[in-house]
Structure 1
Amino acid sequence: MKDQKLSWIDLESTGFTDLNTRGIYKHKLLEIAVLITTKDLKYVDELNLVIGHDKREAQYWADDYVLKMHTENGLWDECAASSLTYEQAEDAILAFFKKHDIGVRHSALWGNSVYLDRAYIETKMPRLSDHLHYQNGDISAVKNFIKLISPEFEPVKAKTHRAMDDIKESVAEAQVYMDLFRPQLEKLLQIRKAKERAIRERDDGPGFAP
């Protein structure tokens, strides 16, 4: 699709450690960032939302690592100052998609380890979940594949653990892979086309005029 747009989403929460025990229904979604790019990863627009929570109640579900992380990056205080509900945040994101002509199931969910983000979205924002395509564009999977080839490879990241910072780093990481793969893929396609052309010419024979 010529005008295809990609929906990149990252979120911050009170934790991911016990989601396999249905802990996701207790954990809190603290912040969600949405970034739209073209299929060539050119910036289009962004939206960042901090969900309102009682600080003490939200912190109850966080382990020591998450407590320290969101104390240092200021997210606990921003959540305490916010009055935004899950439903209001969901409305804002759906309006954002409508503004950019991203219809129902038009875009996969792009980001890093997005199965975790999708789990929260399915639980806390079901209308947004229904709007997104079921496919994931998981940049972490690409990184893990590259590390099989070169174990020392690791993308450079600031690790602020804020949603918009993280999603912009995901897009930058994807750009590295696109720049790495595109020349090789173009070369591979040229070789394949040349082989197909040679097969057609062989099958057609030298040709004789009547």
Structure 2
Amino acid sequence: MTGLDVLTCHILEVACLITDAHLNVLAQGPDLIINQPDHILDNMDTWCVQHHGQSGLTDACRKSKISLQDAEHSLMAFIKTYIPKGKCCIAGNSVYMDRLFLQRYMPLVDSHLHYRIVDVSTIKELC
């Protein structure tokens, strides 16, 4: 993401793993880097400029031919192959923010997921 403000920031990359209840990976989905125009990338917050610049993600977004809509449809096709509507929650580290961005920018994916969120960053905060 270009930052954490869901109203002004944008998705740069999406990826997905399907696991069973024991967190064994059943399927590895697409890892899609989304094209964003310069005016979006030029407005990233400081943390994103530094980290996405160092990792190469910023340049990869500039070069990508994948639109947000293409990424949503690819991700949705993958998820539907394995998960019936409303049966799978989103899980991972700090995925609450991911869910907010999915609601805004990938509503087809968001509406297919269960409403529950398993955010392991909560456990880190409690320890």
- Structure 2 length normalisation: TM-score? 0.92
CA RMSD of aligned residues (A): 1.2
Q: 1:57 aligns with which of 32, 39, 42?
A: 39
Q: Which has the higher helix share?
A: 1
1:42 maps to which residue?
Answer: 24
Q: Which runs of 5+ in 1 are unaligned?
A: 1-12, 148-210
Q: Percent identity?
A: 32
Q: 2:60 aligns with which of 63, 78, 92?
A: 78
Q: Given that residues 15 and 61 in structure 1 are in contact (C-alpha distance below 8 angstroms), is that contact kept between their aligned partners in structure 2?
A: no
What CA distance in whole angstroms lies between the structure 2 residues aligned with 1:89 and 1:50? 8
1:161 maps to which residue?
Answer: none
Q: 1:96 aligns with which of 72, 78, 89?
A: 78
Q: 2:91 aligns with which of 104, 110, 122?
A: 110
- Structure 1 length normalisation: TM-score? 0.57
Q: 1:78: how far off?
A: 0.8
2:8 maps to which residue?
Answer: 26
2:2 maps to which residue?
Answer: 14
What CA distance in whole angstroms lies between the structure 2 residues aligned with 1:48 and 1:136? 21
What CA distance in whole angstroms lies between the structure 1 residues aligned with 2:71 and 2:27? 17
What CA distance in whole angstroms lies between the structure 1 residues aligned with 2:42 and 2:54? 17
Q: 1:121 aligns with which of 93, 102, 111?
A: 102
1:142 maps to which residue?
Answer: 123
Per-residue CA deviation, residues 122-156 of structure 1 (Å, 9 max, x unaligned), is 000111110011110111112222x1xxxxxxxxx
> What letter matches 1:36 in structure 2?
I
